[in-house]
Amino acid sequence: MKNSVITPRGAILPRLFGCLLLLALLALLAHSARAQFPTVASQTLFMCNAPGVQFGVQAFADGTGGAYSVWIDKRAGSNGGPGTALYAQHLDANGTAQLPANGLRLLQTRGREIFGVRAIRWQSGILVAWVQGAFGIGGDTVRCQYYSAAGVAQWAAPTIVAYRTLPTVIYELEYGLNIFPTSTGATIVHDLTLNGGGDWLTFNQVSFTGALRFANNQIQRALPSANSLLTLSDGGDGFYVVSGYGGLGSAIYAQHYDLNGTPSANVLDLTATGANGRGGQNWRAVRDPAGNLYVVWGSNSGDIIAAQVTPGGALGWSAPGYRTLCTNPSYQSVPDALWHNNALWAVWNDDRAGMNSQTTYIQKADAAGTLAWSAAGVLVNNLPAFAPEPKLAPSDNGAVMAMYITNYSAGTGLRAQKIRPDASLVFPTGGVALHTVDPDRAAGQDLVPVAQPNGSVQAFWASAGAGPNNQDICAGRMQNSGTLLGPAERAAEALGFEVFPNPATSVLLLRTTTGTMATNVRLFDAQGRLVRAFVDGSPLLSLPGLAAGLYVVRARLNGQEVNRRVAVE
């Protein structure tokens, strides 16, 4: 018989306490070592690099400087395996993961495939809707689930929003899949295919407790074309539907629906008055605070065109009812659009430098359709790319930030440029590199920018991966000053040290959310030279006499050095 060791009963509690203390210290060390937003563009922050394919990333701000992301995950997905899953991650303002490494699994479909997903911030958590069905066949149900901020399901089971009813409804489709918050819960919009052919719009509404308002597929709307859909909230309880065939020269139709599913009197053809039809998937839809819809598309002839639709379902602009945002004879395509600072902004691929050397241009128009800048557009980025596929996000002081892809082979990659309301560029020509690691390159169609209140923009993307089975979910952050988040700036974020306005002209104001006084406040130029020193305790920093450019405000706060970068005009 083996010898046994008998531990005195009095020694058990101290040893147990020691083990618990050791585990707590290890957990603390592990947490402190967790990745954050990279400080250099040659590093990649993986939200998920588990084996298999991750894609279809959704991302949105959490309201406190961080962001949530949800994606489709096939790390265990196969026809005979557990099926496709949905995973989520929550990053704080510094990029530190708040959920488990490689994401928190929200659900596993048990032998089913997920064809599309949408996720939004809803109540105090996340509302997720997805289309699932047999592998390689197509969707047979649309489901949704409400999760807490920690990723815990709040309903006993996902709500089945819609399901196919053979032989009438052949497929439930992800085309136009979207979620719109309403005063009674949320509206979930998607598409379906009926027996005999033809795609139809359908939607349902879910209460805050997950109860459905309408019977399965009760509301079905035939559209002139529904095999390519955009859907967008009107800012209240209704929504817009924009449809088209998706082929070259395809007409574009728009219609408004109210909370009860009642459509506006007519289906509006945005191209009927002479606007050239859409080429491929080149279109976007946004709205203004008044509920007007703006549709921006890359036309078959290579122009970027925009039209406004009122909530009553009429064209909002005077004849011919649309505006050409760029009249340069070269080919423009793949626009992105944003309503910000009381204006419509649009950015696009532009081949005036050559088809394989595309650059990025931008235009702005007011609510009346009047162009703010040259009819040729304003150059945002002059670095060549096969397809920049730019995305827009709001920034501070009325500016916007564009993110776009340049040729990774040239060591540039994913970049950002900030554009002021007067069309001037804040960052150097060509923009600032956010990410330059080729195997983890951003794919433009799966790139989601998330704006934050301080003017910084976080980027989330599904990487191209080193192989067909190695797509990952990545993230980065561009400061409003055109730099990545460094250690001293992380301290500034944590301690609530802010400087504004940014860009500044004659004066800067210091503010700390804790009320603690900043000391040893100094201003350095882009070459690191001290140019101003300020009196301790003064919240106002005088700037007259400084040359325009980028500067760094350095100070000490609670014994830590903090930095804030600022542009001086």
What is the tens place of the pLDDT at every residue in 526-551?
A: 667 888 998 887 888 889 888 887 78
Angstrom CA distances, 465 to 38, 50, 155, 373, 497, stand at 19, 12, 35, 39, 38
Q: Which is nearest to 351 in space by CA: 317, 326, 318, 322?
A: 326
Give the pLDDT score at 79.
58
For residue 29, pLDDT beyond 50: no
Give the pLDDT score at 487.
67
Give the pLDDT score at 465.
66
Angstrom CA distances, 145 to 15, 115, 190, 348, 378, stand at 44, 16, 16, 35, 43
Lowest mean pLDDT among 34-38, 52-56, 202-206: 34-38
Beta sheet of 104-108, edge-to-edge order: 54-61, 67-73, 85-91, 104-108
pLDDT digits (tens, 9 = 90+) for 268-317: 999 988 888 887 768 999 999 999 999 999 998 899 999 999 988 899 99
pLDDT band at 222 (very low <50, low <70, confident <90, very high): confident
pTM of the full structure: 0.82
For residue 11, pLDDT beyond 50: no
Q: For 185-218, what is the HEC assignment?
A: EEEEEEEEEECCCCEEEEEEEEECCCCECCCCCC
Instruction: Give the pLDDT mean for 443-464.
Output: 90
Give the pLDDT score at 538.
80
Instruction: Give the pLDDT mean for 44-67.
Output: 93
Element (H, E) at 498: strand 497-500
pLDDT digits (tens, 9 = 90+) for 349-381: 999 988 778 999 999 999 999 999 999 999 999
Lowest mean pLDDT among 138-147, 314-323, 379-388, 524-533: 524-533
pLDDT band at 469 (very low <50, low <70, confident <90, very high): low
Question: Would you list the domain boundaries of the chain?
Answer: 490-568
Give the pLDDT score at 25.
33
Give the pLDDT score at 7.
36
pLDDT band at 27 (very low <50, low <70, confident <90, very high): very low
Lowest mean pLDDT among 60-64, 168-172, 312-316, 561-565: 561-565
Give the pLDDT score at 26.
35
150 is written with which tokens?
Answer: 């920690």
SS3 state of residue 28: helix
Q: Are 41 and 86 in contact (CB under 8 A)?
A: no
**Residue 2 Rama label (left phi>0; alpha psi -120 to 50; beta):** beta
Mean pLDDT of the chain: 86
Give the pLDDT score at 19.
40
Q: Residue 479, Cα to own-chain centre: how many angstroms?
A: 16
Largest CA distance in the chain: 98
Q: Which CATH superfamily is domain 490-568 in?
A: Immunoglobulins (2.60.40.10)
Strand partners, 228: none
Give the pLDDT score at 9.
38
Give the pLDDT score at 368.
96
Give the pLDDT score at 69.
98
The residue ranges of DSSP E strands in 406-465, in sequence order, are 414-419, 432-435, 442-451, 457-463
Strand partners, 400: 394, 419
pLDDT band at 80 (very low <50, low <70, confident <90, very high): low
User: Is pLDDT larger for residue 251 or for residue 340?
Assistant: 340
For residue 12, pLDDT beyond 80: no
Instruction: Give the pLDDT mean for 44-51.
Output: 92
Element (H, E) at 510: strand 507-512
Instruction: Give the pLDDT mean for 47-64.
Output: 92
User: Is pLDDT larger for residue 564 or for residue 532?
Assistant: 532
Lowest mean pLDDT among 114-123, 502-511, 558-567: 558-567
Give the pLDDT score at 439.
83
Angstrom CA distances, 527 to 384, 506, 524, 535, stand at 28, 21, 8, 23
